[in-house]
Chain A
Amino acid sequence: AQSVAQPEDQVNVAEGNPLTVKCTYSVSGNPYLFWYVQYPNRGLQFLLKYITGDNLVKGSYGFEAEFNKSQTSFHLKKPSALVSDSALYFCAVRVMDSSYKLIFGSGTRLLVRP
């Protein structure tokens, strides 16, 4: 079965410090991985995706993610956190069958303190 796990319910970081939000996946075949962010009472916003190629993927708002095949991980990173980055972050993997469904992780709440 294909799945994605976000082991941390919440990540706390001080403004200006680097941040990492963790994601691990389990898929058969090559993974298609996505990160989304959700602000309160809003829909999800696409941040970045990994399909193939370079293991370091750059996305919106200064975020990047590193694909690591041996560790089956796709951690989201940002060199310098902003208070406005505080939100709920979802990792997702595309199901490798004819449905092409997205499976979301449980979500990680990022809290950036001033």
Chain B
Amino acid sequence: DTEVTQTPKHLVMGMTNKKSLKCEQHMGHRAMYWYKQKAKKPPELMFVYSYEKLSINESVPSRFSPECPNSSLLNLHLHALQPEDSALYLCASSQGTQQGNEQFFGPGTRLTVL
């Protein structure tokens, strides 16, 4: 299995809702990432998990809360989001965080905050 899966594909939520995005990989990768991508822009790194521990938080607002239950799963919990948080949320994984390791991306979750 050489892919990263993400659910749901699309999510519409109100500003008072609580929802979660899920990401899964079965490539034995030990690093997992969350990115946010606005239309026609490059992905922006949000969080990095290495060996199931949070190693990078790019000063992301606390309304985004990541979780790594095990080495194959990565969640992003959403609460009290703002309309400007609407974007494509991409999950990625790599063998590790070393320089030469390429990242494999999932198809993304298209989030709309009303």
Give me the interface of A with B, judged by CB distance under 8 Å: 32, 34, 36, 41-46, 49, 51, 88, 90, 94, 96, 99-102, 104-107, 109
Give 1 or 0 for each of B90-114: 1 = CB within 8 Å of chain A CB: 1010000111101111111010000
Q: A19 to nearest B CB, angstroms? A: 20
Residue of B whose beta carbon sits closest to that of A48: B102
Q: How many A-B residue pairs have CB under 8 A?
A: 56
CA distance A67 to B88 in the complex (A): 31
Q: A104 to nearest B CB, angstroms? A: 4
Residue of B whose beta carbon sits closest to that of A35: B102
Residue of A whose beta carbon sits closest to that of B3: A43
Residue of A whose beta carbon sits closest to that of B105: A43
Give me the interface of B with A, judged by CB distance under 8 Å: 4, 6, 40-43, 45, 48, 55-56, 88, 90, 92, 97-100, 102-108, 110
Residue among B43, B90, B106 with max Cβ neighbours from chain A (10 Å): B43
